Amino acid sequence: MFLTFLTFLPLVGAILLTLLPRDEEGAIKQTALAFAVADFVLSIFLWTNFDSTTHEMQFEYSVPWISSWGISYHVGLDGISLLLYIMTTFLTMISIIASWGITKNIREYMMSFLALSTGMLGVFISLDMFLFYFFWEFQLVPMYIIIGVWGGPRRVYAAVKFFLYTAVGSLVMLVAIIWIYIAIEEQTGVATTDIIFITENLELPLAPQKWLFLAFFLAFAIKVPMFPFHTWLPDAHVEAPTAGSVILAGVLLKMGTYGFLRFNLPLFPHASYEFMPMIAWLSIIGIVYGALVSLVQEDLKKLVAYSSVSHLGFVMIGIFALNHYGIQGALIQNINHGISTGALFLLVGMIYDRRHTREIKEFGGLAKVMPKYTVCFMIIALSSIGLPGMNGFVGEFLILLGVFQNSGMWAACATSGVIFAACYILWMFQRVMFQKLDNPKNENLPDMNTRELITVVPLIILVFWIGIYPKPFLKTFDASVEHLLIKVNPDNFRPGNPGSSHSTHAKLIKIEDMARLNQQQNGIKP
Amino acid sequence: MEPIPAPAIDLISLAPVLVLSVFGMMVLVTDLFIGKDKSILVFISLTGLLMAAVSSLAKYNLPVFSFNGAYVVDHLSVFFTFIFCISSALAILVSVDFNKREGIKVGEYYSLILFCTVGMVLLASSTDMIMIFLGIEVVSISLYILAGIQRKSTKSNEAALKYFLLGAFATGFLLYGMTLIYGSTGSTKLTIIANVISENKILSEPLMLMGVVLLIIGFGFKVAAVPFHMWAPDVYQGAPTPVTAFMAVGPKAATLAAFYRVMSETMPDLSYSWEILLCVVSVLSMFIGNLGAIMQSNIKRLLAFSSVAHVGYLIIAIIAKNSLSSSSLMFYMLSYAFMVFGTFGIVILLGRKGEENLELENYSGLAYKHPVIALTMTIFLLSLGGLPPLAGFVAKFFIFSAALKEGYIILVIIAVLNSAISFYYYLKVIVFMYMKEPVKEFHISLTPMTLLVIAISAFGTIQLGIFPDPIIALAQAN
């Protein structure tokens, strides 16, 4: 019930805002902020009360909803969703502070943000496929409005593209959801869309697993976005208002990676295993391609947007390493990307507010006029590269460790992305902050004010916290990752030894090993 | 000589039809004695519809047959009667202010809507092809007149004439098809035809198949499915807006109910012949409807094409022919009624005398002048597109489940991709409302009856989207 309260609190705020008169801008902003802060502060209690020794769902709440179809309102959190949930409330709060300067239709803006927050939170807590889809589509509308109304010059194009891309993917996922709904009824006699029940009871042969995997894959890969489906992202990011970009990068993209962990892996373990190479290569292409394209961008925001493609490639390859390190790294990298890229978008937004341009060549030598800004930017840039001692390092290291267990080749290719990241970030940093201050328009730029510092400093604290002492974060998803790995362990679906292993160790069996094992069992000599 | 035995008639089960006919005539007669003010007629017709709805809910053991098995009151027909009463009531309510504004002062208007409702109830309850024909004619003739009720407007006249000519043509097809089926099975009764088919005693298979094809053409015309949809955009555009909304819901629902009875209930064993045809019709309707709607700049034409696309989705339920088909049809039509009346209600609200404001450009910046109206319009449009948490989503979920249960995966994938296409033009309207600057002043007079319709529709759309359980349980009751 507490979880439901937290999830719908922002929506209540949005509804209350309609009661305020349109021109009371101060009151509107304060009310919105109050709701966001309350939501964040209360969500901290989830973390403190969270039992990280179990993979079971916690704070669970379930009531029948559409009982004729066996659909219930079932929510809960486990290690995989807990931190994403808190990050959502956190970034919503930061975004609302960062939007203080919005003047156009501030009430509608704040309402959209709060409604968006409820939609996103709902996605992370849903334990019913119908409910999940419900929230998954619900958050589209406020984001569409945010990009389309408060965005840049090509905002309508970007907003419609964002909406349609996501809609196509999710509608295909809807077909898969209905398919599973019918299959589970045929198999168990229970008509339900409950994720936990389905995860435990669905038994599918490889062929339908593959199709269903691809249907879910399309929805989540568009959201992440993985390489061939990423083209909506730069448009959406460039046109969205600053806070919209922060939420987009920080939370919306994570819904895709979360979907993989909640649906694809546990529901279709065999197919996940089969598609591992494909996804690994797509991720590698995404990592390298995203980095190379970032290198040549002249628009700061586009650069950060493409770097997201690269970073999310890391997360994806980590998930599909299908071992403990990889998934743990991916989960922490999810958080890291939200922090670092969110902060980068905030910082880019700040100079855009001052200069109304984001062209790199318009800047240079900002370090002299904006020292505080430069320091913040430096820290965030380094964290984005993955400097040891900062958050990015922890995530990338764990991911590469996991990937290396599968294939040295993949790890080597993925690592190149880290090097490219250093190139595009540092080169951009050099061109913007150092060099000569030759553009007279830049001479009198004011440094960061208190409000701007308030938005960035918490993120910087997190950068170091996760970088130096990641244990509190890693600990939360340990048990859940272990449980997930039992599910995707090839021992459970390989022919010959059904369900024999409850090994919690995440080592994957190589194809050759399997062949040898089969030969031994069947008495054929190699 | 033996006297011809009179067929058994259950008057209670016929009550909705009788009530509606009596009230329809009462409206006609009362119209003679009152002056210019027609509001009493509105009151009488609404009372009639309410009584019909109540009488349809009279509890007895379903199904009840009358007229020698030509007329049945079963779960399907009761639910559809309910939908017809709601949609006709909404149509009358939404007409009140519109008629005042546009100077439509004829009392027949209301009685025609009631008579049309009688036809719809007949259509949804008939188990005999003659009765189906009767129902279709009652519905169509009322609609021909309603479409042309704005006598001074050329557009309205054009719509009526076009609708009449093409409709008459379609009726011909329908009748011809019925004749051929009668010839090859020896009966017009659906139950007997079903027996003949299942016992494989068809006299002439080619004639039978030809009959089925002609039936599909006839029904296709009546529900405006591609490739028989050409009349829809012009008629929808030309007819008075409340009539357009009325046409898009009630008659369409009634025809689909009859279509369902003839195809899925009577000829499931012949499905090898008609299934593929209906699949083609459904896929074409979705694609042409949605792609056509993208091109439109007039909101009524846009909605006409969108309704063609919706027929495409609905035909999927007929193709699925399982236990979920009929209940999904019922649920879909009910939610569709709310969405359509809501949208058209707002279209009516935006117009004023001599200036209908039907171009999409007229919606520019609506959100800043009238945020609540823009928000409700957004709700209706997104629901038409099938976005949760709105009624349209649950309805689509229902139909897709019915089809997937029978394994029509490709068809459902085509349908969902079409939903994605449809978002493009529904969003286009939203883009105009939220993301463009107003081009001219809005002169919106918030007329109470139209607002009432919009409020009811919005409530229905949201209620059926968030708490659909009672209605789903009702639809699946048998």
What is the tens place of the pLDDT at every residue in B422-455?
999 998 898 888 888 888 777 787 888 889 999 9
Rounded mean pLDDT, A20-28? 84
Range of the domain at A415: 290-488
Given a cut of 60, whether residue B193 has pLDDT beyond it is yes
Q: Report DSSP letters for B108-121, one per residue.
A: HHHHHHHHHHHHHH
What is the least distance, in Å, from the CA of A484 to any CA of chain B? 29
CB of B181 closer than 8 Å to CB of B129: yes
pLDDT digits (tens, 9 = 90+) for B11-24: 778 888 999 999 99
**Model confidence at A127, in pLDDT bands (50, 70, 90)?**
very high
Name residue, tokens 């996991």: A402
Q: A443 — phi, psi (to 5°)?
A: -70, -30
Nearest CA in chain A to B385: A167
Q: What CA–CA distance (Å, rounded) separates A28 from A20?
A: 7
Q: What CA–CA distance (Å, rounded) separates A217 from A408?
A: 25
CB of B50 closer than 8 Å to CB of B85: yes
Given a cut of 80, whether residue B36 has pLDDT beyond it is no
Rounded mean pLDDT, A63-88? 90
Structure tokens at B93: 């309510």
CA neighbours closer than 13 Å in the CB half-sphere of residue B340: 33
Given a cut of 90, whether residue B139 has pLDDT beyond it is yes
CB of A405 closer than 8 Å to CB of A320: no
Q: What CA–CA distance (Å, rounded) separates A381 from A427?
A: 11
CA nearest neighbour of A36 among A52, A62, A16: A16
* pTM for this model (two decimals): 0.90
Rounded mean pLDDT, B267-274? 85
Nearest Cβ partner of B424 from A134, A148, A164?
A164
Lowest-confidence region among A246-255, A319-328, A487-496, B426-435: A487-496
Rounded mean pLDDT, B308-316? 93
Given a cut of 90, whether residue A216 has pLDDT beyond it is yes
**Model confidence at B50, in pLDDT bands (50, 70, 90)?**
very high
The 10 Å Cβ neighbour count of residue B337 is: 28
A48 three-state secondary structure = helix
Q: What pLDDT shows up at residue B364?
A: 87
Q: What pLDDT shows up at residue A495?
A: 55
- The mean pLDDT of chain B is 88
Q: What CA–CA distance (Å, rounded) separates A316 from A222?
A: 12
pLDDT digits (tens, 9 = 90+) for B197-233: 888 888 888 888 999 999 999 999 989 998 888 889 9
Number of Cβ pairs closer than 8 Å across A and B?
Answer: 82
Q: What CA–CA distance (Å, rounded) separates B338 from B90?
A: 9
Given a cut of 90, whether residue B353 has pLDDT beyond it is no
The 10 Å Cβ neighbour count of residue B297 is: 11
Q: What pLDDT shows up at residue A1?
A: 83
Given a cut of 80, whether residue B383 has pLDDT beyond it is yes
Lowest-confidence region among A334-338, A429-433, B57-61: B57-61
Q: What pLDDT shows up at residue A501?
A: 42
Rounded mean pLDDT, A487-503? 58
CA neighbours closer than 13 Å in the CB half-sphere of residue A36: 28
Q: What pLDDT shows up at residue A332?
A: 92
Q: What pLDDT shows up at residue A526?
A: 39
Structure tokens at B384: 């038409």
**Percent of residues, chain B, with pLDDT higher than 90:** 45
Residues of A252-291 as b/e, b for ≥16 C-beta within 10 angstroms? bbbbbbbbbbbbbbbbbbbbbbebbeebbebbbbbbbbbb
Asked if A163's CB is within 8 angstroms of B388's CB, the reply is: no
Rounded mean pLDDT, A366-384? 89
**Model confidence at A85, in pLDDT bands (50, 70, 90)?**
very high
Which residues of chain A make contact with B375, given a CB cutoff of 8 A? none
Name residue, tokens 């046109």: A239
The alpha carbon of residue B96 and the mean position of all alpha carbons in its chain are separated, in whole angstroms, by: 21
Please indicate if any CB of chain A lies within 8 Å of the CB of B404: yes
Q: What pLDDT shows up at residue A508?
A: 46
Q: What CA–CA distance (Å, rounded) separates B170 from B391?
A: 32
Q: What CA–CA distance (Å, rounded) separates A90 from A100?
A: 16
What Å distances lie between residue B171 and B130, B167, B175, B214, B219, CA to CA? 12, 6, 6, 10, 9
Q: What CA–CA distance (Å, rounded) separates B82 from A501?
A: 58
The answer to whether residue A465 sits within a structural domain is: yes
Q: What secondary structure, in 3-state letters, does A23-41 show?
A: CCHHHHHHHHHHHHHHHHH
Q: B64 — phi, psi (to 5°)?
A: -115, 130
Q: DSSP assignment, residue B364?
A: T
Given a cut of 70, whether residue A42 has pLDDT beyond it is yes
Structure tokens at B304: 């006409």
Lowest-confidence region among B63-72, B279-288, B293-302: B63-72
Asked if A65's CB is within 8 angstroms of B472's CB, the reply is: no
Nearest Cβ partner of B435 from A138, A149, A164?
A149
Q: Report DSSP letters for B310-361, one per residue.
A: HHHHHHHHHHH-SHHHHHHHHHHHHHHHHHHHHHHHHHHHH-BTTB---BGG
Q: What pLDDT shows up at residue A446?
A: 85
What Å distances lie between residue A320 and A336, A371, A401, CA to CA? 18, 41, 13
Which residues of chain B make contact with A178, given a CB cutoff of 8 A? 397, 400-401, 404, 412
Please indicate if any CB of chain A lies within 8 Å of the CB of B353: no
Please indicate if any CB of chain A lies within 8 Å of the CB of B371: yes
Q: What CA–CA distance (Å, rounded) separates B242 from A6?
A: 44
Nearest CA in chain A to B372: A18
Given a cut of 70, whether residue B291 has pLDDT beyond it is yes
What is the least distance, in Å, from the CA of A147 to any CA of chain B? 10
Asked if B371's CB is within 8 angstroms of A167's CB, the reply is: no
Asked if B400's CB is within 8 angstroms of A174's CB, the reply is: yes
Which residues sit opposite B189 in a β-bridge? Answer: B128
**Model confidence at A288, in pLDDT bands (50, 70, 90)?**
very high
Structure tokens at B294: 């993208």
Q: What CA–CA distance (Å, rounded) separates B401 from B280?
A: 20
Please indicate if any CB of chain A lies within 8 Å of the CB of B369: no
**Sign of torsion, CA B107 B109 B115 B118?**
negative
Which residues of chain A make contact with B371, given a CB cutoff of 8 A? 108
CB of A167 closer than 8 Å to CB of B434: no
Amino acid at A297: Q
Q: What pLDDT shows up at residue A55?
A: 83
The residue among B367 and B214 whose pLDDT is bigger is: B214
Rounded (10°) angle between helices B299-320 and B323-350:
170
Helical ranges in A126-252 per DSSP H: 129-138, 140-150, 155-188, 195-201, 206-223, 232-239, 242-247
What is the least distance, in Å, from the CA of B369 to any CA of chain A? 12
B199 three-state secondary structure = coil
Asked if A105's CB is within 8 angstroms of B413's CB, the reply is: no
Structure tokens at B223: 């529900």
Per the omega criterion (within 30 degrees of 0), is the bond before B63 cis?
yes
A29's CB contacts (< 8 A; 6+ apart) are A96, A100, A106, A110
Angle at B235 between CA B233 and CA B238, to 5 degrees: 105
Which residues of chain B make contact with A144, given a CB cutoff of 8 A? 427
**Model confidence at A318, in pLDDT bands (50, 70, 90)?**
very high
Given a cut of 60, whether residue A516 has pLDDT beyond it is no
**Model confidence at A33, in pLDDT bands (50, 70, 90)?**
very high
Q: What pLDDT shows up at residue A503?
A: 39
Number of domains in chain A: 1
Given a cut of 50, whether residue A509 has pLDDT beyond it is no
Q: What pLDDT shows up at residue A285?
A: 93
What are the structural domain ranges in chain B? 15-475
CA nearest neighbour of A35 among A12, A61, A63, A3: A12
Q: What pLDDT shows up at residue A475?
A: 87
What Å distances lie between residue A465 and A339, A470, A472, A481, B215, CA to CA? 12, 7, 10, 22, 72
